Amino acid sequence: MAQKNYSDANSALEGLLFDGMTIAAGGFGLCGIPENLIAAIRDSGVKDLTVYSNNAGVDEFGLGVLLQTKQVKKMVSSYVGENAEFMRQYLSGELELEFNPQGTLAERMRAGGAGIPGFYTKTGVGTLVAEGKEEKDFDGETYIMERGIVADLAIVKAWKSDEHGNLLYRKTARNFNPLAATCGKVTVAEVEEIVPLGSLNPDNIHTPSIYVQRFVQGEHEKRIEQRTIREA
């Protein structure tokens, strides 16, 4: 079996990055984001990226750090409301944006990973989302066609990995990660813990190792995106 376990995020991405590439990133808000791999992409200086992700992190954390360094050319996202720099770049014409309904984006990743080049959905019919897309009627209802996503690289965050790269996510940190993990030509995972082979129940594995080419253990900050507290 090829070597999968790398010592750090920079080495895990070595030879995979190039200008103009597409990247699918797991995570939702700041939950379950591959923060070490994002930082390594920033440090590499690679530019003109197209990034598929539910959102773009926040200012100064998550995918937001790639916006600050202007390494992202286009975002394909569902929600961008927590990032002032994202808004500034978009409104000034510095950043391209393709909005996808959240379920559509998830299904585009899943479809790409399953070898499905396109699918029809009712979501977005009659809205700006449908502009320029093929429409087809089924049983008297109009649907639009969405393309499956196959990215040059997928980066995901998992809770545990065994020595072969079978991944287990934890609670809501699962979010987009299993979907993104399937749709990359190469998938790199960062994990909190690496456990011996055979210690994970096969029935509980969320992403089989066949999808994971490289993984790295990292330390994670786990910031809170919106802190809400009760008054005393």
Give the span between the Cα atoms of 144 and 232, in whole angstroms.
Answer: 51
- Model confidence pLDDT, tens digit, residues 96-154: 999 999 999 999 999 999 999 999 999 999 999 999 999 999 999 999 999 999 999 99
Q: How confident is the model at residue 227 (pLDDT cuts 50, 70, 90)?
A: confident
Contacts of 106 (CB under 8 A, 6+ apart): 176, 179
The distance between the two most distant Cα atoms of the chain, rounded to a whole number of Å, is: 57
Mean pLDDT of the residues in the chain: 95
pLDDT surpassing 90 at residue 205: yes
pLDDT surpassing 80 at residue 40: yes
Give the span between the Cα atoms of 158 and 192, in whole angstroms.
Answer: 7
Give the span between the Cα atoms of 23 and 63, in whole angstroms.
Answer: 11
pLDDT of residue 8: 97
Residue 178 — φ and ψ, nearest 5°? Answer: -60, -35
Domains and their CATH numbers in the chain: 5-217 (3.40.1080.10)
* Residue 61 DSSP label: B
Give the span between the Cα atoms of 161 and 107, in whole angstroms.
Answer: 24
Give the span between the Cα atoms of 155 and 197, in whole angstroms.
Answer: 22
> Counting beta carbons within 10 angstroms of the beta carbon of residue 195, is it exposed (0 to 12), middle (13 to 18) or buried (19 or more)?
middle
